[in-house]
Amino acid sequence: MKIAILGGTGLVGTEMISILSERKFAIDELVIFASSRSEGKKINTPYGEVVCKVAKTSDDFNGCDYVIIDVDDPIAAELAPLAAQAGARVIDKSATFRMDTNVPLVIPEINAADIVNAKRGIVSTPNCTTTVLLMAIAPLDAQFELDRMVVSSYQSVSGAGKAGLDELQTQWKQHAFDDDLNGFVSSHENESLLAGGSVWNKAIAGNVIPLAGSIKQDGYTSEEIKLCKESQKILHNDDLRITATCVRVPVFVGHAMTVNASFKKDITALQAKEILQNTNGVYIDVADIEGTYPTPLEIAGADDIHVGRLRNDLTQPNTINFWVTGDNLRKGAALNAAQILEEWVQL
Amino acid sequence: MKIAILGGTGLVGTEMISILSERKFAIDELVIFASSRSEGKKINTPYGEVVCKVAKTSDDFNGCDYVIIDVDDPIAAELAPLAAQAGARVIDKSATFRMDTNVPLVIPEINAADIVNAKRGIVSTPNCTTTVLLMAIAPLDAQFELDRMVVSSYQSVSGAGKAGLDELQTQWKQHAFDDDLNGFVSSHENESLLAGGSVWNKAIAGNVIPLAGSIKQDGYTSEEIKLCKESQKILHNDDLRITATCVRVPVFVGHAMTVNASFKKDITALQAKEILQNTNGVYIDVADIEGTYPTPLEIAGADDIHVGRLRNDLTQPNTINFWVTGDNLRKGAALNAAQILEEWVQL
């Protein structure tokens, strides 16, 4: 079993290697492809020391059984087909092929059966926000037929990779000893506090930014559109109505969402809770339907998606409100790719 | 004009005195009441040095024209009627009397006319979240008849007073030099990062907490119930349907919300924008209906409520999405009280 990780020095790539090892996935040869900046760099992995290479042609992927890709969209667009051409099965974490009708978009707990339709030799994994949301909503959709959702996100900075982590950390340190809180109380005049960085134009420390990705269409951002379109594809329902506002928050790891979900069939919060209690990969407190409130800081590093604040929406029938949070680097990215790999090797 | 501030040493009380002075409100005598802990303490104010007193009986309020109250609910419940009994007009920022049918609940831009119905001599100001939301939604309701709203909040720690500010600042400092971000990346196992404080059981720095107030009924929190009930009262519409999830975020000052609002009459985002552009106390960028995204850090210390990300909800008719943010200490509390005072003195 020869596996290549393209983007193996990045945040998700590193998590990927560590998750494969945690799950005791047997690998005879691990290849790490990275940018030319990292070429020749030696990486210590649970599978031994690996020297970073740069992939340029189809030949570079010769002999690879699987190539797992976590790089920017344009690079994935170029290299994923070359890897597939070399005979590798490709698991792509970029957004490039997600909406391609010949590329399955897969969360194994929900639609592992779609993997067989990988006509281009590529399976895509969803956006991290989509995955966290669908883990909680898919089992309810299966039973009660989801009709419409209003979603607001609380997304961590690691959704923007290592640069996002660094930007929050830098601003956090910079203002840690602003002993006089008056600067924050009247921050609209405080240029130092308001200064953005290379990832976000506005400060993220001590702030929330209601713009994830970039504005694309009808005022919606790339992130909001992904959440809608990817959910429709994974749930095999183009009529599914989803409206979302995606917001970045000063959390390092762990995405969260408030969800107001309406169903076509009769549903109560209690029924929803019973289903989620019996869903693999989802954790909901059995003791208390109302009072539990998992936070991203508590779940960063864990595999399960956590659901809390599950309750009936009192303003219309067959509608529930809940809160969901999950690790965007693990189930939101690397863990989901590892699970696709585990399914695919059996086919 | 003799004015007493009950709770004048607190976060909102201090803001109150500064706003009265900014607005050049003429005061002959300023009285500051505080807890026995602050008794005798000298406070420098724009109206001269004031020595803190403790209020216990109706007599303590003798001669006061107005008493502005910003203390915890039980103390307000006890002292507001005593102040009114002494002949003062009382403006109460606590939650105690907000739903009392003989006490008007007022945002002057929206329902200043209700002040004349202060049968108990008390006018209440709404919860800070309610005020920020209604400043944006009331002018749209007036024209298009609001039917239902799904609201998710991003509330700053100063909503919990000075203790909230201190708790975030303490945790912020404590973890500022955790140079190894692995602690945050796998924080579910990190007891130091997860430790809460005296205000919140869970850490607020580097986290978001989907519980503001305490769980009261049907799984909803005191804060979520206030948002619904107070909005109904201020907009004079008991049939108004509002469902909310209130979330605390690591921002010092400035509350924000995502709002999905459905109306009975035909509405478009463009029409909504035109109305909000002409609404006193609301700022919306004229240049770009889609791309503006005001953040709490940018508006803390400012008077206007800022609206952005205004767009049509593509999933159902006559529904819009928007983002709203405002200073919870100013328009959310002290400024609104000052404006009530300015209206009331004319009656």
> B267, B296, B329: which is closest to B139 by C-alpha?
B267
Record: contact B210-A258, CB cut-off 8 A = yes
Q: Where do the CATH 3.30.360.10 domains begin and end in chain B?
A: 129-155+212-328
Record: contact A301-B206, CB cut-off 8 A = no
Residue B336: band (very low, low, confident or very high) from pLDDT cuts 50, 70, 90: very high
Handedness of CA B258, B262, B268, B274 (dihedral sign): negative
Q: Is residue B61 within 8 Å of B72, Cβ to Cβ?
A: no
As a whole number of angstroms, the distance between CA B175 and CA B326 comes to 28
Q: Is residue A157 within 8 Å of A252, Cβ to Cβ?
A: yes
Looking at residue A290, its pLDDT comes to 63
pLDDT in tens, B299-327: 999 999 999 999 999 999 999 999 999 99
Strand, helix or coil for residue A33: strand
Q: In degrees, to the nearest 5, what angle opens at C-alpha A68 toward C-alphas A62 and A71?
A: 110
> A193, A327, A183: which is closest to A252 by C-alpha?
A327
Looking at residue A181, its pLDDT comes to 82
> A304, A333, A300, A305: which is closest to A127 by C-alpha?
A333
CATH superfamily of A2-126+334-344: NAD(P)-binding Rossmann-like Domain (3.40.50.720)
Record: contact A245-B251, CB cut-off 8 A = no
For B171, nearest residue in chain A (alpha carbons):
A176
Please give the backbone phi and psi of residue A146, each rounded to the nearest 5 degrees, phi first: -60, 135
* Helix axes B11-22 and B335-344, enclosed angle (nearest 10): 50
State which fold the A129-155+212-327 domain adopts: Dihydrodipicolinate Reductase; domain 2 (3.30.360)
Q: Is residue A58 within 8 Å of A80, Cβ to Cβ?
A: no
Strand, helix or coil for residue A153: strand
Q: Where do the CATH 3.30.360.10 domains begin and end in chain A?
A: 129-155+212-327
Q: Which residues of A touch B163 (CB under 8 A)?
A: none
B53 has pLDDT over 90? yes
Looking at residue B220, its pLDDT comes to 96
Please give the backbone phi and psi of residue B155, each rounded to the nearest 5 degrees, phi first: -100, 135
From B158, B176, B256, residue closest to A172, measured CB to CB: B176
Residue B224: band (very low, low, confident or very high) from pLDDT cuts 50, 70, 90: very high
pLDDT in tens, A271-308: 999 999 999 999 998 776 666 899 999 999 999 999 99
List chain A pLDDT tens, one digit each, 347 residues: 999 999 999 989 999 999 999 999 999 999 999 999 999 999 999 999 999 999 999 999 999 999 999 999 999 999 999 999 999 999 999 999 999 999 999 999 999 999 999 999 999 999 999 999 999 999 999 999 999 999 999 999 999 999 999 999 999 999 987 777 888 889 999 999 999 999 999 999 999 999 999 999 999 999 999 999 999 999 999 999 999 999 999 999 999 999 999 999 999 999 999 999 999 999 998 776 666 899 999 999 999 999 999 999 999 999 999 999 999 999 999 999 999 999 999 99
Record: contact A181-B169, CB cut-off 8 A = yes
Q: Is residue A55 within 8 Å of A61, Cβ to Cβ?
A: yes
> Which residues have C-beta within 8 Å of that of residue A289, sequence separation ≥ 6?
A269, A270, A273, A310, A311, B219
pLDDT in tens, B87-146: 999 999 999 999 999 999 999 999 999 999 999 999 999 999 999 999 999 999 999 999
Sheet holding A241-245, edge to edge: A241-245, A146-154, A255-263, A319-326, A305-312, A282-284
CATH superfamily of B129-155+212-328: Dihydrodipicolinate Reductase; domain 2 (3.30.360.10)
Which residue of the set A52, A228, A246, A255 is catalytic?
Answer: A255
Pairing of the two strands A146-154 and B66-69: unpaired
Pairing of the two strands B89-92 and B122-124: parallel
* Tokens of residue B281, six digits: 């106390």
Percent of chain B with pLDDT over 90: 93
Which residue of the set A64, A128, A228, A246 is catalytic?
Answer: A128
- To test the contact with chain B by mutation, choose from A11, A247, A273, A330 the residue with the greatest count of B C-beta atoms within 10 A, namely A247
Looking at residue A182, its pLDDT comes to 81
Kind plus residue range of the DSSP H or E element containing A131? helix A128-144
As a whole number of angstroms, the distance between CA A109 and CA A340 comes to 10
One-letter amino acid for residue B261 of the chain: A
Q: What average pLDDT does the structure give for chain A? A: 95
Record: contact B208-A148, CB cut-off 8 A = no
Looking at residue A41, its pLDDT comes to 96
From A152, A202, A219, residue closest to B152, measured CB to CB: A152
Tell me how close the Cα of A295 comes to any Cα of chain B, in angstroms. 6
Looking at residue B290, its pLDDT comes to 64
Record: contact A258-B247, CB cut-off 8 A = yes
pLDDT in tens, B225-251: 999 999 999 999 999 999 999 999 999
Kindly state the average pLDDT of the residues B56-72.
97
B291 has pLDDT over 80? no
Cβ atoms within 10 Å, residue A305: 28
> A144, A165, A182: which is closest to A318 by C-alpha?
A144
Tell me how close the Cα of B63 comes to any Cα of chain A, in angstroms. 34
Q: Is residue B35 within 8 Å of B8, Cβ to Cβ?
A: no
For B180, nearest residue in chain A (alpha carbons):
A169
Please give the backbone phi and psi of residue A177, each rounded to the nearest 5 degrees, phi first: -115, 30
The CATH class of B2-125+334-344 is alpha beta
Looking at residue B315, its pLDDT comes to 98
Reported ipTM: 0.96
Query: Is A175 one of the annotated active-site residues of the chain?
Result: no
pTM above 0.90, yes or no: yes
Please give the backbone phi and psi of residue A94, each rounded to the nearest 5 degrees, phi first: -80, 175
Distances in whole angstroms, Cα of residue A33 to Cα of each of A59, A122, B146: 13, 18, 55
Residue B180: band (very low, low, confident or very high) from pLDDT cuts 50, 70, 90: confident
Percent helix, strand, coil in chain A, to 5, is: 35, 25, 40
Residue ranges of B 116-175 with Cβ closer than 8 A to chain A: 148, 150, 152, 154, 158, 165, 169, 172-173, 175
From A173, A181, A323, residue closest to B176, measured CB to CB: A173
Record: contact B297-A185, CB cut-off 8 A = no
- To test the contact with chain B by mutation, choose from A158, A174, A182, A243 the residue with the greatest count of B C-beta atoms within 10 A, namely A243
- To test the contact with chain B by mutation, choose from A315, A320, A323, A331 the residue with the greatest count of B C-beta atoms within 10 A, namely A315
One-letter amino acid for residue B181 of the chain: L
Please give the backbone phi and psi of residue A333, each rounded to the nearest 5 degrees, phi first: -150, -85
Looking at residue A180, its pLDDT comes to 75
Record: contact A260-B203, CB cut-off 8 A = no
Residue B73: band (very low, low, confident or very high) from pLDDT cuts 50, 70, 90: very high
Record: contact B184-A253, CB cut-off 8 A = yes
Residue B288: band (very low, low, confident or very high) from pLDDT cuts 50, 70, 90: low
Residue ranges of B 277-336 with Cβ closer than 8 A to chain A: 289-291, 293, 295-302, 308-316, 319, 321, 323, 329
* Tokens of residue B108, six digits: 């002057």
As a whole number of angstroms, the distance between CA A86 and CA A80 comes to 10
As a whole number of angstroms, the distance between CA B20 and CA B341 comes to 10
B289 has pLDDT over 70? no
As a whole number of angstroms, the distance between CA A23 and CA B73 comes to 53
